[in-house]
Amino acid sequence: MPCAPDSLPLWPVPASLVAGVDEAGRGPLAGPVFAAAVVLDASRPIPGLRDSKRLSAPARERLHDEIVERARGWAVGVAEVEEIDRLNILQATLLAMRRAVVALPELPALVQVDGTQRPALPMAVQTVVRGDASVPAISAASILAKVRRDRLCAELHARHPQYGFDVHKGYPTAAHLEALRRHGPCPAHRRSFGPVARVLGGGPAPDELRALHGPRAQG
């Protein structure tokens, strides 16, 4: 029987059976939201793991490749723009997290998730506030998710260079908002997000945008 989402095992869980989970892309106006799950291998340590937002882009790329090579298991889950618009950004993020965990080559006994929101999973789930800065497996997951999303933004820039996705990564910067007003939304824009909805004549931002103003707005 699946454990309740907030339950923890009553026995010690080996580190090899603990997966760290984090997301990237909750706050942007465009593109999918990514989540990653990582089970580290204690026999193959990865020096330098930390919150992806505190690393330079070259450092993230280097660590990404080391995680892929040295981790005991890893997987990336994605929730597409259409799912974000249909479900809302929070539920789409939790969906991406679930997809990442169930795609692991070996299911963990415990999942540690950065932040305060728990995806529904068939194993114990523990939330860790600022876990991306304190739990190495969550740090690794934050790096994988961030690098994969940044790579997607480079692809979006190649298809839609007028928006500058290579610079702002989809976040609502002044330059991005001006490009949105000038050119209108492209297929990658999230129609349910306030600035995009207003360009389309959709009125005020939907309720789910309130989540973007919290401390986890820019994953």
Residue of higher predicted confidence among 137 and 6: 137
Q: SS in 3 state form for 81-112?
A: HHHHHHHCHHHHHHHHHHHHHHCCCCCCCEEE
> What pLDDT shows up at residue 16?
61
CATH architecture of the domain covering 15-213: 2-Layer Sandwich (3.30)
Q: Distance between CA 82 and CA 98 in Å, rounded? A: 17
Find out whether 137 and 67 touch, Cβ atoms under 8 Å: no
pLDDT at 217 over 50: no
Express each pLDDT in 180-206 by its tens digit.
999 999 999 999 999 999 999 854 444
Residue 141 corresponds to which tokens in the numbers above? Answer: 């997951």
